[in-house]
Structure 1
């Protein structure tokens, strides 16, 4: 598979950190951006020569424009982009009390951010390059009180096929929608316990996913082998979205 220069947003923790490590292990040059200065510092202390880090809020257009100028000077061109930066907490206040500021901030980071990154970086991409948007299975199924996150991720899937048409044939655009991905070992202070045996066992694949599962799919979608794939969404959830679940068994028709 072709290695090259890629941009990963939200690179300093969680899924982004896992993908960063994966691509570095596969000899890619990675430019990583994140809004969390402390997490960026921890990652920068690893001293990896193929990794360059930038502090950035992807929802601020002037900052994204400055990033594009930096890339043009130091990288020249990009072979791929992974739009991963997001406010990853899916829950919000109950709808009756959902604040407009929370709604707007989630959409700004999770949906406007990928658009701005793509808008300003696409002119720097090599012919045959690809953009991958990290969406979520929550674009298709929900828990209560998750309107902002679900709307942003649903919009990101629509943005994916819109950009695929606008940027083709030079740049391909696809989305990956992860289900339950365990990133607890990638967090310095994980907020949630690691998945239990029951959590793993409820997945048809027999386990909860990890960052490498998503990264391996992203690597394929960035490669020349995926040259006929654009505008698509790939759900990677261990089969959970296909499993029919009734607490008391299926109702009779």
Structure 2
């Protein structure tokens, strides 16, 4: 991936957190980026930031979209097709319905319907939407170029919590584990039929407290909220950064031989790592 070969990239959940960091990274590298997010305030904010991020002929567009709404997702893909002239090089399924745990200090034993409603939302955004977007984007990806000799590619952002959960992460862990199975199956199906590659990234602890509107207003640095102990927990000597994920994305986009794989980005000890609260 280089500015001399600009790509057309779709990122879900691109107004905050890891998604926002990827938006900034690829726009500043000269690529054109389309961002989908459900938070209008954060979308407005990144729209105001994006012009200072971009280089060269890079363009961007943002759209508010509730990924639970299949019709809205279909409309978003139609707009992507229009914006990118029927071509998509990279689809990054990153969005998840926050918080990762049950809201309002609930647990899975809660006897109200609220937990089930929240389960439905988290699974819809974190697992069903990536499947739906993958389906709808096939014609665009077939016309795309992730490498000079291969069509577009899909990257699903999973989590180390797919393998080792924490308390009250049932929906999050289930969705992120489901993404790994979906990645494998889509890689086989779309690879054999269209040569579209599908891979997953499994982040460990990626610190993104500075990747939102409020943090920008306060001038929060990446290090804010991290302690020496947080770094010591990691054999790599630090907590992860958005740039670590961006480098993994670049590798998966540019390596035309890699598909159906899980790339772990973790400075800990992989799946055995238990992070402190």
Please indicate, yes or no, whether the TM-score normalized by the shorter chain is above 0.5. Answer: yes
Q: CA deviation at 1:236?
A: 0.8
Matches within 5 A, 1:90-101: 90-92=100-102, 93-97=106-110, 99-101=115-117
Stretch deviating more after TM superposition (93-102 or 26-35): 93-102
- 2:187 is the counterpart of 1:171: no
Q: Is the 8 A contact 1:5 1:79 kept in 2?
A: yes
Matches within 5 A, 1:21-60: 21-48=24-51, 50-60=59-69
- Higher strand fraction: Structure 1 or Structure 2? 1
1:251 aligned partner: none
Q: Is the 8 A contact 1:182 1:194 kept in 2?
A: no
- 2:42 is the counterpart of 1:13: no
1:239 to 268, 271, 277: 268
Whole-Å Cα distance in 2 between the matches of residues 16 and 47 of structure 1?
13
- 2:153 is the counterpart of 1:130: yes
- Calculate the aligned-residue CA RMSD, in Å: 1.9
1:187 aligned partner: 212
Instruction: Describe the shift of the 1:201–1:38 C-alpha distance in structure 2 as closer, same or farther (beyond 3 A).
Output: same
Whole-Å Cα distance in 1 between the matches of residues 31 and 60 of structure 2?
9
Whole-Å Cα distance in 1 between the matches of residues 135 and 89 of structure 2?
15
Cα deviation digits, residues 121-149 of structure 1 (max 9, x gap): 12111252110000000000011121111
Matches within 5 A, 1:86-165: 86-92=96-102, 93-97=106-110, 99-125=115-141, 126=144, 127-165=150-188
Unpaired runs of at least 5, structure 1: 246-253
1:84 aligned partner: 94
Q: Is the 8 A contact 2:164 2:271 kept in 1?
A: no
Q: CA deviation at 1:203?
A: 0.3
Instruction: Describe the shift of the 1:62–1:208 C-alpha distance in structure 2 as closer, same or farther (beyond 3 A).
Output: same
Cα deviation digits, residues 127-174 of structure 1 (max 9, x gap): 521100000000000111211111111001100111101111421000
SS in 2 for 1:185: coil
**Once superposed, which parts of structure 1, at least 4 consecutive aligned residues long, lie more than 6 Å away?**
none
2:54 aligned partner: none
Q: CA deviation at 1:179?
A: 1.0
Instruction: Describe the shift of the 1:134–1:242 C-alpha distance in structure 2 as closer, same or farther (beyond 3 A).
Output: closer
Q: CA deviation at 1:71?
A: 2.0
1:70 aligned partner: 79
Whole-Å Cα distance in 2 between the matches of residues 13 and 244 of structure 1?
25
- 2:252 is the counterpart of 1:221: yes
Q: CA deviation at 1:189?
A: 3.3
1:248 aligned partner: none
Whole-Å Cα distance in 1 between the matches of residues 267 and 165 of structure 2?
17
